[in-house]
Structures are given as structure tokens and as C-alpha cells.
């Protein structure tokens, strides 16, 4: 057998090995990927008279954190990727932003989106969701269908042990399911407190005030004139920090608890 023939057989062996490893990786990813796709119905993109748009709707999710950057659907390259790790969402790198600065825009908190693709990288403990704006949900006058991607980076070995519900809990910290009509009604019509009842502030009340955009001065004033019942345990403090509650407000909460 000639050296040339041997080289070809070796090359073919490497190629076959690569294919087999690729198929094995897909097989490992399949269970959790299929479970996620069953939970999040994927929307489908197509072309109409106005250009690229959503032609088959999917599960509606609501953006919970800032830092996601979108590009027009006509942009055929990989959409900018924001990375969620250890409770923090990091936007695309400076180089990517410089390349896309003229066509990209921030997708805002509260904006509704569809998922159009789910990639599970079990070996790297990473899941990437490619998303697109839900123009009809956002009641926009000029449809845009900007697309983006969010990578959820988990600790080493996490995906080999986690089930889909645990992964979905993490995803919902950035992209939460749209509230049902009953949940929206309860939010819009809060229960009326009995006459004479005193307003009691708890951790979630402070988080809600921060999310609503109130400044520290207003929140501190509210705390000063309210009865407070705060949880200042270590997990509670971490959650407050992740919810963007300022250090000044957290210190005041601790002071209220110890007084």
C-alpha cells in the first residue's frame, strides 16, 4: 500500500471520527434541547412585501434586563450576542458594537420578543437563544423585527445534571414568559388594604420601586415614613444587588432591620 493511499485512509478516519463525535454531541444535547423547544414555541421568519418578518408566531417572552442589542433582519450575519452569567447580563463587546453602531439599537426592558432558534452547547455549558422583536405585541407603528441573541453561560458541568425547568428558571431572569390575562388583571387591580392599615415595606416592594424608576431619595423617603419588614440575610442581599438596588438603599434597609 502506497504512502499516498495510507494518508488518504488516515484523513478519512479523522473525518469519520469528527462526524461521529459531532453526532454524539448532538445526541447529548437533544434531550434538554427538545424539552426547551417544547416549552418555547419557536417563531418562524419569512419574506413578505415589506421584507423579512415573522410569518409564524411563537411563545411571547418579555425582556427583563437591559443590555440586549438588536439588528435589522436584513443583516444576514450572526446577531450581536449578550451573555448572562452569574446574575449579570453583559452586552456585546466593544468591537461588535463598533461594527454595528449604525444599524443596531438597544432592545428595552419590557419589550416583547419571540425565540426563533435554540442552540444547546452541552460541552461548554452554554445555551444560546436567538430572538426577534414581536412587533404586533409591542404595538409599533413601523414594523422592524430586530433580531438579537442571548447566551446563558452556566457553571462547568451544570447542564449535564440540570433539567429543563431549572434552565427555564434562569432564562426567565432575562426573558420571562408574558403574564396571562388573569395575572395582568391582578397587577392592574391590586387588593385594597383595610382602612387604617399601615403600609409595610418588604424587600420585593423596594425591588418594584427600583424597577419602576424611582430614585434613591424617593425610596429612602418612603422607607422613612413606612413600617419596614426587610429580610437582610445573605441570599436576600444578593438578590437586592442583582435587582439593581443601590448600596445606599441596601444600607438603609439593614439599618431599619437592626433598629
| In contact, 63 and 107? CB cutoff 8 Å | yes
Range of the domain at 110: 30-181
Per the domain annotation, does 8 fall within a domain? no
If one compares 229 and 30, the residue with the highest pLDDT of the two is 229
Domain stop point among 129, 146, 181? 181
Residues 137 and 43 in one domain: yes
Residues 81 and 151 in one domain: yes
Give the C-alpha separation, 236 to 239, whole Å.
Answer: 5
pLDDT at 29: 53
110 CB neighbour count, 10 Å cutoff? 10
Number of domains in the chain: 2
Per the domain annotation, does 17 fall within a domain? no
**Strand ranges inside the chain, DSSP E:** 44-48, 51-56, 60-63, 68-70, 81-85, 88-90, 105-107, 112-121, 126-133, 147-153, 175-177, 200-201, 227-228
pLDDT at 111: 94
Where do the H-state alpha helices sit in 40-118? 94-100
- Return left, alpha or beta for 180; rule: phi > 0 is left, psi -120 to 50 is alpha, else beta: beta
> Which range is least confidently modeled, 150-154, 181-185, 198-202?
181-185
Domain stop point among 119, 149, 181? 181
For 10, the enclosing helix (H) or strand (E) is helix 3-39
| In contact, 152 and 166? CB cutoff 8 Å | no
pLDDT at 27: 42
Domain stop point among 131, 146, 181? 181
pLDDT tens by residue, 52-64: 678 888 999 999 9
Residues 235 and 149 in one domain: no
pLDDT tens by residue, 86-134: 999 998 876 666 666 667 888 999 999 999 999 999 999 999 999 999 9
pLDDT at 257: 84
Mean of pLDDT values over 190-213:
75
Per the domain annotation, does 192 fall within a domain? no
Per the domain annotation, does 107 fall within a domain? yes
Residue 11 has pLDDT above 50, yes or no: no
Strand partners for 82: 150
Per the domain annotation, does 65 fall within a domain? yes
Residues 58 and 170 in one domain: yes
**Burial of 125: CB neighbours in 10 Å, binned 0-12, 13-18, 19+:** middle
Residue 186 has pLDDT above 70, yes or no: no
Amino acid at each position: 500500500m502506497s504512502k499516498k493511499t495510507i494518508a488518504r485512509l488516515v484523513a478519512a478516519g479523522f473525518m469519520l471520527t469528527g462526524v461521529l463525535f459531532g453526532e454524539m454531541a448532538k445526541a447529548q444535547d437533544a434531550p434538554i434541547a427538545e424539552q426547551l423547544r417544547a416549552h418555547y414555541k419557536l417563531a418562524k421568519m419569512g419574506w413578505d412585501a415589506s421584507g423579512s418578518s415573522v410569518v409564524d408566531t411563537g411563545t411571547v417572552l418579555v425582556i427583563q434586563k437591559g443590555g440586549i442589542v438588536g439588528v435589522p433582519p436584513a443583516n444576514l450575519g450572526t446577531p450581536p450576542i449578550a451573555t448572562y452569567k452569574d446574575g449579570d447580563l453583559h452586552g456585546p463587546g466593544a468591537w461588535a458594537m463598533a461594527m454595528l453602531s449604525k444599524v443596531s439599537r438597544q432592545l428595552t426592558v419590557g419589550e416583547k420578543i419571540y425565540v426563533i432558534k435554540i442552540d444547546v452547547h452541552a460541552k461548554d455549558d452554554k445555551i444560546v437563544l436567538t430572538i426577534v422583536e414581536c412587533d404586533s405585541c409591542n404595538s409599533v407603528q413601523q414594523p422592524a423585527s430586530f433580531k438579537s441573541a442571548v447566551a446563558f453561560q452556566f457553571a462547568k458541568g451544570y447542564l449535564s445534571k440540570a433539567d429543563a425547568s431549572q434552565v427555564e428558571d434562569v432564562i426567565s431572569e432575562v426573558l420571562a414568559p408574558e403574564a396571562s390575562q388573569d395575572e395582568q388583571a391582578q397587577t392592574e387591580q391590586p387588593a385594597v388594604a383595610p382602612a387604617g392599615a399601615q403600609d409595610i415595606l418588604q424587600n420585593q416592594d423596594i425591588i418594584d420601586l427600583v424597577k419602576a424608576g424611582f430614585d434613591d431619595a424617593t425610596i429612602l423617603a418612603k422607607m422613612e415614613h413606612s413600617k419596614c419588614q426587610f429580610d437582610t440575610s445573605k441570599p436576600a442581599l444578593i438578590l437586592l444587588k442583582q435587582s439593581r438596588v443601590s448600596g445606599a438603599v441596601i444600607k438603609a434597609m439593614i439599618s431599619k432591620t437592626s433598629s
